[in-house]
Structure 1
Amino acid sequence: MKKIINTSKAPAPIGPYSQAVQIDQTLYVSGQIAIDPSSNELVMGSVEEESHQVMRNLSAVLSEAGYSLENIVKATIFLSDMTLFPKVNEVYGSYFNSDFPARETVAVAGLPKGVNVEISIIACKD
């Protein structure tokens, strides 16, 4: 059965989608960008700050559903420019100790609200 996940600790969707959808033990989390949910403002100081906010938003959605970063099995990182990859990769990697999720990183022509980073994930419980 499909369960919709929503939390005020992550940005509200800016379109017709849910923050996450759980089916059985698998959680599909929509792409998160660097919006601070407490102010609804973009965090755009540096790509590192932007990336940390994205990871905090993903963590908030995971937590609401009873998951953690350790449950992530797949991540997709969207970048406005592939030259940002080393900095984003360093921040992303700092959130994991081992058993890293599968992942791809792609550069795209544009992202919502002109951000540099968007990350979507799939998490699963055993």
Structure 2
Amino acid sequence: MQKRIINPWTWSEDRGYAQSVEVKQVESTLYCAGQAAVLADGTSSDADMKTQMNIALQNLEKVISEAGYACKNIVRLNIYSTSTDELLSTCFDVYVNWARKNNVETALTVMEVNALYETLNIEFEATLVK
């Protein structure tokens, strides 16, 4: 697989994402369902958004690794949040640090939604290639 990051402006690098990602000669593609702060027993977390973000990222990592991929293979990531203001003011730095730690250079979209399942307030949806 060949991966090329297209970033006309460097400011997005400090925010943990790229403006676009081009991939060529892809061997396989993984489409992940939305990963949220659902515990191993299927219980939805009712914790604050920062805690839920950490759980959701751990769940995303688990799905990715069990499929035989690595987080650095994420080429598209959508973040659904019940409050963009809360996301940006309380825990977006958690995502940025996670992206740096995992060498994630991805096209990213953040969307505010009316509600997520039960008590959930953040969800990650990823597409990966290798």
TM-score range, shorter chain: 0.7 to 0.9
State the AA in 2 paired with 1:92.
Y
| Residue deviations 1:16-52 (CA, integer Å, cap 9, x gap) | xxxxxxx951100000110111x32223322111001
CA distance in 2, matches of 1:114, 1:45: 8
| Higher relative contact order structure (alpha carbons within 8 Å, sequence separation ≥ 6) | 2
**Runs of 4+ with >3 A deviation:** none
In structure 2, what is the Cα distance between the partners aligned to 1:100 and 1:84?
23
RMSD between superposed Cα atoms in Å: 1.7
Bigger strand share: 1
User: Which of 100, 105, 111 is the matching residue for 1:100?
Assistant: 105
* Contact 2:81–2:121, Cα closer than 8 Å, also in 1: yes
Greater gyration radius: 2
Deviation of 1:105 (Å): 0.3
Task: Work out the CA distance in 2 between the residues paired with 1:116 and 1:49.
Answer: 10
Give the unaligned 5+ runs of structure 2. Answer: 1-25
Equivalent residues of 1:76, 1:104 under 8 A apart: yes
Q: TM-score, normalised by structure 1?
A: 0.73
**Structure with higher helix content:** 2
Question: Structure 1 stretches of 5 or more lacking a match?
Answer: 1-22
Amino acid aligned to 1:56: Q
Does 1:116 find its partner at 2:118? no
Aligned sequence identity (%) = 25
Distance in 1 of aligned mates of 2:78 and 2:91 = 12
